[in-house]
Amino acid sequence: MTSGDRAEATLNSIGDAILCTDVDGKVTYLNIDAEKMTGWSRDAAAGRPLADVFNIIDGETRAIAPNPLNLAMRLNKTVGLTPNCVLVSRDGTETEIEDSASPIYTAEGIVAGAVIVFRDVSTALETSRKMSRLAQHDALTGLPNRLLLDDRLTEAIAMSRRHGKPLAVLFLDVDGFKAVNDALGHAAGDGVLQEIAKQLSKTLRESDTISRYSGDEFVIVLSEIANGDHAAIVAKKLLKVIAGPHRIGTQDVRVTASIGMALYPDHGQNAETLIANADAAMYGAKREGHGQERLFGHESKVGPFAPGETDRDGFVEAGPDRRLRK
């Protein structure tokens, strides 16, 4: 094997795509991986402008991405590709990539061209996105979890403060949900929660946030509303769609919910206080019967049930955040 053959075999076995150009930006070399990813054979690509063979765009804006080889030669140093870069192959296939580009020097130290080494990172990025989503979303409903809710609500409060508009936090609890699980099984109960999540998402604006707070509890953030009456109108609409019926398997299931509302800035200046006050208002709504909504401070009896007291769902209050079936 000649030294040239050995070099060729090495370049084809390293697992990364390699593409070289001359000082004018014309393609001079592609290894096997580069041929596969670009869709260009070495012979077909030879002498063509880099942009024809290495067609890269910004994955978010879809704009043409800066040419890293030209930048490497101009700065006379190794540079990386811009983030969110997508390679569009000759047949239109798109691949998320990362790379580095470096100048190629002659024996005299003169820049004679550039080399780019790139690789497919689609799988790694998709895995990262999935892990990030799992960390911030509820596995059953796909809705934001408490972690993401806190971030979204904090951002919404800052936006409301900046624009001088109120927002509403709705705390929604499905009435008698344990009875659904007892009668139909946990799989059917999960199906009801998924249907509720779906109906909430259809009813609310994209700018609003819907979170599965816990078991059968949901927290909704209505950003930049006109006034408290707007929140009440939305709450009534949500109670109607939650009432169903929801088709679960071969049967229709009807449920009701209780909703408590708290407004920024009247009922709290931060996420924790607004959620707590909306929760208290929900307890007030539940006292007055299923399928009710109440604004914080407008309940017939504000606040959670007293320890040992039984609510309308048959739960006994056993202290903070503990409700036990009697």
Dump pLDDT digits (tens) for 245-260.
Answer: 888 878 888 889 999 9
Length of the chain: 326
Q: Do residue 150 and residue 116 come from a single domain?
A: no
**How many Cα atoms occupy the beta-carbon half-sphere of 225 within 13 Å?**
26
The predicted-structure confidence for 26-52, as pLDDT tens digits, reads as follows: 999 999 999 999 999 999 999 999 999
Q: Structurally, how many domains does the chain consist of?
A: 2
The mean pLDDT value of the chain amounts to 84
Q: Do residue 251 and residue 160 come from a single domain?
A: yes
Whole-angstrom distance, CA of residue 175 vs CA of residue 242: 11
Of 208, 216, 311, 313, which residue is the catalytic one? Answer: 216
**How many Cα atoms occupy the beta-carbon half-sphere of 65 within 13 Å?**
24
CB distance 254 to 244 below 8 Å: yes
Q: Do residue 152 and residue 117 come from a single domain?
A: no
Q: Do residue 180 and residue 37 come from a single domain?
A: no
Whole-angstrom distance, CA of residue 47 vs CA of residue 27: 5
Whole-angstrom distance, CA of residue 23 vs CA of residue 115: 11
Higher pLDDT, 150 or 128: 150
Phi, psi of 290, deg, nearest 5:
-65, 155
CA distances to 84, 100, 116, 125 from 62, rounded to whole Å, are: 10, 21, 21, 18
Of 22-26, 106-110, 147-151, 306-310, the range with the lowest mean pLDDT is 306-310
Q: Is residue 132 part of a domain?
A: no
Whole-angstrom distance, CA of residue 262 vs CA of residue 222: 10
Q: Report percent pLDDT > 70 for the chain.
A: 87
Q: Do residue 148 and residue 93 come from a single domain?
A: no
Q: Taking the model in full, what pTM does it have?
A: 0.60
Phi, psi of 111, deg, nearest 5:
-70, 120
Residues 288-319 as b or e (16 or more Cβ within 10 Å = b): eebbbbbbbeebeeeebbeeeeebebebebee
CB distance 111 to 118 below 8 Å: no
Q: Do residue 175 and residue 268 come from a single domain?
A: yes
Q: What is the pLDDT of residue 302?
A: 39
Split at pLDDT 50, 70, 90, the class of 21 is very high
Split at pLDDT 50, 70, 90, the class of 89 is very high
Whole-angstrom distance, CA of residue 126 vs CA of residue 161: 36
User: pLDDT at residue 307 above 60?
Assistant: no
User: pLDDT at residue 199 above 70?
Assistant: yes
The residues, any chain, with a CB within 8 Å of residue 228's CB and separated by 6 or more, are: 166, 168, 261, 263, 266, 295
* 143 DSSP 8-state letter: -
Whole-angstrom distance, CA of residue 35 vs CA of residue 20: 12
Mean pLDDT of 101-120: 88
Helix, strand and coil content of the chain, in percent to the nearest 5, comes to 40, 30, 35
Does 52 qualify as catalytic in the annotation?
no
Q: Which of 77, 99, 126 marks a domain boundary?
A: 126
Q: Do residue 156 and residue 76 come from a single domain?
A: no
Q: Do residue 111 and residue 187 come from a single domain?
A: no
Smallest CA-to-CA distance from 79 within 98, 106, 107, 57 is with 98
Q: Is residue 69 part of a domain?
A: yes
H/E segment holding residue 326? none
Split at pLDDT 50, 70, 90, the class of 7 is low
Q: Which domain holds residue 160?
A: 137-325
Give the count of beta carbons closer than 10 Å to the beta carbon of residue 89: 15
Q: Is residue 112 part of a domain?
A: yes
Q: Is residue 202 part of a domain?
A: yes
Q: Do residue 295 and residue 167 come from a single domain?
A: yes
CATH (domain of 230): 3.30.70.270
